[in-house]
Amino acid sequence: MEFKMERHGLLETGQEVEVTESALPTSYYYTIVPAVAMSKNYGPHERLKARKGIVRQINVTDRGYYTIVEFEEEE
């Protein structure tokens, strides 16, 4: 799952992070605690089951800072 960060250096590759889920009328979004990065909106069928994940990648682009977090989802 990709998260947008406002500043570089808030997370490190390999770091375990916790996320909180927030609900909108028709979707959900996730925030890395303590509010260092936020995901895009996801539909009800895309909701996360896990609340902890590992930072796998941090990218710097013209649009900002992005991190990829991997979650272990149980079936």
Q: pLDDT tens for residues 29-72?
A: 999 999 999 999 999 999 999 999 999 999 999 999 999 999 99
Identify any residues that bridge with 36 across adjacent strands, giving them in sequence order. Answer: none
Contact predicate 55/14, CB 8 Å: yes
- What is the arithmetic mean of pLDDT over 6-10? 89
**pLDDT of amino acid 74:** 65
The pLDDT of residue 73: 78
Burial class (CB in 10 A: 0-12, 13-18, 19+), 66: middle
> How far is Cα 27 from Cα 36, in angstroms, rounded to an integer?
21
- Is the bond preceding 44 in cis, omega lying within 30 degrees of 0? no
Domain extent, residue 47, equals: 2-71
Number of domains in the chain: 1
pTM (global) more than 0.85 = yes
Check whether 8 has a pLDDT greater than 90. no
